[in-house]
Amino acid sequence: TNLRDVHFAHICSPSETGLWEPVSRALFDKTLERLVVDWIGQPIPVASLLRTQSELKVLELASNASEWQDLETAHIPRLERLKCTAAQAASVVPGRPVTVLEVIKGDDERVLGEDLFQRLALSARPIVTLTIALPDLATHRIFQRTLQNISRYLPGVEYLTIRVNGYISGNV
């Protein structure tokens, strides 16, 4: 089959974690251009599938996808659009031509520090569209620091959306 676009969505209890493996195996010999993994439950290992996807351009990972940090720069070399957590982005973006990035809140909810933006600056092409979800308890100071880091490390950003939930109000 000429399957190019896969959206795998599943909400499960911890006892139903065996579903990803057969789906992943079925996709190994496919040449995907888009992969969305919406999975609520136990962490799922995505790296073994991603290593086989040399044509993948769009990737959206759930916050509980695991083993993504095991990817090498040679894997998913055509990736242009990425939606994932900050920790996932810090590992996946460097060396790949990501131009559209959406950083979602993850279980780790790591603060969007300077080290993240330094890693994002290592994209093979400038990030042009950036959407960031700030942690729930983000302060005005975190918001300002985030803007400063974007300005310093991602000067190619033309379209910026910052999602704020928490204690920020007033003018910036």
pLDDT of residue 103: 92
Q: How far is CA 122 from CA 51, 109, 112, 161, in A?
A: 20, 22, 16, 20
The token pair that represents 100 in the structure block: 């559209």
Mean pLDDT by 10 residues, the chain (172 residues): 76 58 80 84 77 93 69 91 91 95 73 88 97 79 89 96 66 42
CB-count exposure of residue 112 (10 Å: 0-12, 13-18, 19+) = buried
C-beta separation of 82 from 98 below 8 A: yes
Note the pLDDT of residue 171: 42
Residue type, 120: L
Residues 6+ apart with CB under 8 A from 72: none
Instruction: Write down the residue that tokens 């569209």 correspond to.
Output: 129
